[in-house]
Structures are given as structure tokens and as C-alpha cells.
Structure 1
Amino acid sequence: MSKLRAVSDFESSLLSINQLQAKYLGPDDYKVAAKILGNDPIPLVCKFFYFEVKIIDGGKNGMIGIGFCKSIDQNKKTDDLDIMSLPGQQNNSWGYHGDDGYSYCSGSGEPYGPLYTTGDTIGCYLNFKKKIVFYTKNGVNLGIACYLPNGWEENLYLCIGFRSQGGSVEVNFGNRKFEYSGKLLK
């Protein structure tokens, strides 16, 4: 993965994307959201995958979700991914949200970790062999958030959702040192 993209043309109109950075330009409206994905799926041959997202600006209300989602058909109106939701708020997606600290797994949310906002770095770790997901905040492992379901063996994409006017992020795929230096379970 080397850059980011919007999920749909509608969402593209709400975002400013520059390689590894994105900013939400949309309205301050709970009914509108936009998502970005990695331009390529996470390689299925990986035993594990980790990336970090620096919150450059939490925006007006801090509603930013970081996680991943199953494959999306670019030729359809994103049937697998509701364009008005954040990662984890619908089936086949998983995410950790900055405004409430919840971990959302395929539509179900539970208290998980601290809130995050401007200046924080959130990491997302997927272990395909052990089927676990955990997040980090500023280099600290927050513990297992959820387990990958059976049948996850489809393309998975990094997914970041915005519902916070002015929110902006920068993604690190390992092109520079990660804040998290702990053990990545293999």
C-alpha cells in the first residue's frame, strides 16, 4: 500500500486526499460521513499487518474511526460498505472510534479504550493466523479489541472514516518508525 483513496465519488467530494494524508471537508452533520481506504488490499499472505494513523486534527467533534473493512466493488455503490457510517458500524468492518473510545465489530460497539484526538497516533494490528485485532494509542497496546470472524478470508482494506468537520490524518504503513515498538504477535 502506498496511498489512500475515497470509497465513492460522493465521498471524494467531501475529502482532500494527498498520498498518505486525508482531510474531511464535509459538513458538520451526523447524517454525513466519508471513508478512505488503502489503495490496495492487505496481502492475504501476511500472517499479520500493522499500520498507524496520526491524528493531525481531530476536527470539530472528534468523530474519526480507524480500522479495516472487507472488499468493496468499485463498480457498485459500495454495497458492502454503507457510505454514511464509520468503520465497524456495519457488517464486514471493524474500527476504533475517537469520539467515544468504543471498538466496533461488524455493527456492534463496546467500550474499549481512551478517546483520541489531535496529536494522538492510533495503531491497528491484525493477526490473521490467531484472528485477533488490537489497537494502540501513542505506542501503548490497548489489548484485544475483537476477533476476526470465520470466513474473513477476503480482501481487507485499511479504512478510516470521518464525521468531524476539519478532521485530518496521516497514515504510516511502515515507511517511517512506528510509535508502537512492542511485540507483534506472529
Structure 2
Amino acid sequence: MADDSTAKGILIGLLSAFGSAGVVAIILVAVWFFQYTPTGRIFLDRIGRPGEYDDEQAFLREEAEALEVMDDIQRMEYNRAKAFVQANPPESVQTDISLSQFLAIQEKGVSAWEFEPELEIANCFVEGRTEIEFFDAECTVQSNLPIPKQNEVYYWEAKIYDKPDSTMVSVGLTTKPYPLFRLPGMHKHSIAYGCDGARRHNQPFNPTPYGPEFLQGDVIGIGYRPRSGTIFFTRNGKKLDDVAHGLKTQNFFPTVGANGPCRVHVNFGQLGFVFIEANVKKWGLAPASGSLAPPPPYGSEQGSILLEGGRENDRNSGVPHVLTGPYHYSHGRTNSNQLRLGTR
């Protein structure tokens, strides 16, 4: 029995020694790997799908290679954007939803969101808040409000109209400030799905193959999960792979860009989505309508005490009245002013 105890003690000692040596070896290998292996990219998704750069040296190497093959115009535009980002770092301005903006969302619902073109660029035009027309030069537009972070998922869609084959369209999310003379996805912090089927995440040089190309008539959707910081895209109602995770601190703005003529109509939730799951789970940016009552429909003035009083005064005074528009009724100016003030 004494021999057995001695043997067990020796065995346990050897195992402990080998175990300690193994732990030390693992630590040394890890230190060697991180200190002496060349760094480059980190993987945001599955193996083989590169993401943003994890060190400045790798970015500078790829930048130098890309600048060598750019033409003069491309090089000038890249350097212009680089100077803009250096002078206006991402998220260097306050973009949290303010109290007044929150109240506007409560009143207007999803209609509180609209696109605001940069007047100095003037290569696109916005009509009816969400209908964007691009012209003959590179231009990007952002929404006036960021995506909220209260709900589990937020989602919006963009439908492509009148797009020639030569026009590049990119749909995605960006932070502010952003160089709006560049497409989304090319600078921090931004991500976009392009009509060439590639996606860009802070990547001005080499896009990553992602999904099918999209053409005129296609509908591209963008979903954002604030709690996990996950972003995904859809195409014609079919969900594609997630493209990023962990983007929880940024305030992202819906963004559309193009480098040539086309029209893009955006649905923030004011209409039904092509992606059915977003309709079922109500993933729009806000309720379709808020607490603010819509304008009265045409003809509703028939039951208006104010206008009836105005008509009565007009009949008494002999002043003719004329209908000038859907919501404007013109009659005797003096009488209507007196009626609004409660005087005679």
C-alpha cells in the first residue's frame, strides 16, 4: 500500500508539472502570436469575411497600394474625403435624439424622418421627404434623425427607380459628420450594400462580395438591432446574412448614395414593407401616425362653424367668396378676421 501511495504521488506530481508547463506554453504562444505576427484585419462575421482594420499600419499599406492604381480624379476625391474626416471626426457632433425631436416623433410618427440634402453639393434633390432624385455626380443624403434604440429591431426599405446600368447606388447607415460627396460605406463609421452586390464597412478600397446585384425596381431593406449592434440587409423581401455585430454605441442615420442619375423612394414605415417579417413585428422607425391630427380632407369645411360663420357674414355683407384650394377658403377678409377674434 505504501508503494501504491508513492506511485500515485509521483503520478500526480508529474501531471501537475506537465499541466503547469502546458499553461505556460499556451501563454508564451499567445504572447508570441500577438507581438510578432503581422496584424491586418479582424473578422466581424464568419471566417473568411474581413471587416474593418485593426491597426493603422495595415490601413496605410492598403491605402498606398490603392492610390497607385487610382486615376487623378479618384485620388483627388479620396484625399478630399480623407481631409474632411480628419477635420470632422465621426460622431464629433451631438446626434442623440433631443427632447424636441422626441416630441416631434410623438406628434408626427414616422413622418418625423426625412432626408436632408447638402445644399453645397447640389447633386441630388428630395421631394416629399423621402423621394430622392440623383443627378450626374456622386452624392449621398442622410436622414435628419438617427435610428432610435428603444426597440429590439428597426427596419427601413429603399426602392430603386430609373437607374441606368452605369449608375452605382449604395444603401446603408452612416454616422455624422460624413463626407456626403462620397458613397456610404467608404469611411468610418458607415456600412452599405451596393448595387454591384458588394458591401462596404469603413472600406474605401476593396469591397467584399455580399449578395445579389440589385437593379431598377428592386427593394433593398436595412435592419438594425440596437441591443446587439447587428446590421443586416434584405433584397426584395429576402433576408441576407448579417454584416456586422457589436455596433451599439453609434447613432446611425439611414443613408442613400449614388454616383449618377436615378431615383430612390424610401419607406421608413409609412407604408407596408416588402419584407413580411418587418410588417408582422412592426419594425418601422416609429408608428405610422403620431398624436398630431392629419389635415382635414377636401370638403370638410362644410361642417366648420368658423367657415359657416364666415359664409353667413359674406351673405349679409354682399362680399363674394371663392374656393382657392383644398384647405383654403377665401371670403371677406375683414369679416373673417373679426370672427377669429370674436368681435363684430
**Per the shorter chain, which TM-score range?**
0.7 to 0.9
Match of 2:272 among 173, 177, 184: 177
Give me the whole-angstrom Cα distance separating, in 2, the residues matched to 1:126 and 1:36.
19
Higher normalized helix content (fraction of residues):
2
- Partner of 1:158, secondary structure, is strand
Give me the whole-angstrom Cα distance separating, in 2, the residues matched to 1:65 and 1:139.
17
1:93 equivalent in alignment to 2:203: no
Match of 2:180 among 78, 83, 101: 83
Give me the whole-angstrom Cα distance separating, in 2, the residues matched to 1:116 and 1:147.
24
Q: 1:37 aligns to what?
A: 142
Kindly state the Cα deviation for residue 138 of structure 1 after the two structures are TM-superposed. Answer: 0.6
1:23 equivalent in alignment to 2:121: no
Name the amino acid aligned to 2:116: R
TM-score in terms of structure 1 length: 0.81
Q: Percent identity?
A: 23
Match of 1:71 among 163, 176, 179: 176
**CA RMSD, Structure 1 to Structure 2 (Å):** 1.9
Name the amino acid aligned to 2:187: Q
Residue deviations 1:121-141, cap 9 Å, x none? 000011111221111111011
Name the amino acid aligned to 1:158: P
- Partner of 2:120, secondary structure, is helix
Q: 2:229 aligns to what?
A: 131
Give me the whole-angstrom Cα distance separating, in 1, the residues matched to 2:171 and 2:231.
12
Q: 1:41 to 1:130 in 2, by over 3 A?
A: same
Give me the whole-angstrom Cα distance separating, in 2, the residues matched to 1:159 and 1:69.
6
Match of 1:118 among 208, 216, 219: 216
Name the amino acid aligned to 2:156: F
Kindly state the Cα deviation for residue 111 of structure 1 after the two structures are TM-superposed. Answer: 0.5
Residue deviations 1:97-156, cap 9 Å, x none? 01x21111112621000111110000001111122111111101112122244xx42321
- Partner of 1:10, secondary structure, is coil
1:53 equivalent in alignment to 2:53: no
Match of 2:255 among 152, 159, 176: 159
Match of 1:14 among 96, 108, 123: 123
Unaligned ranges ≥5, structure 2: 1-111, 284-344
Match of 1:5 among 116, 121, 139: 116
Q: 1:109 to 1:60 in 2, by over 3 A?
A: closer
Aligned residues: 166
Q: 1:102 aligns to what?
A: 198
Give me the whole-angstrom Cα distance separating, in 1, the residues matched to 2:246 and 2:173.
11
Give me the whole-angstrom Cα distance separating, in 1, the residues matched to 2:113 and 2:175.
19
Deviates more, 1:111-120 or 1:46-55: 46-55
Higher Cα radius of gyration: 2
Residue deviations 1:13-65, cap 9 Å, x none? 111211110111234xxxxx111111211113333210000001223513010
TM-score in terms of structure 2 length: 0.45
Give me the whole-angstrom Cα distance separating, in 2, the residues matched to 1:136 and 1:50.
10
- Partner of 1:182, secondary structure, is helix
Kindly state the Cα deviation for residue 91 of structure 1 after the two structures are TM-superposed. Answer: 1.1
Give me the whole-angstrom Cα distance separating, in 2, the residues matched to 1:157 and 1:17.
16
Q: Is the 8 A contact 2:141 2:180 kept in 1?
A: no
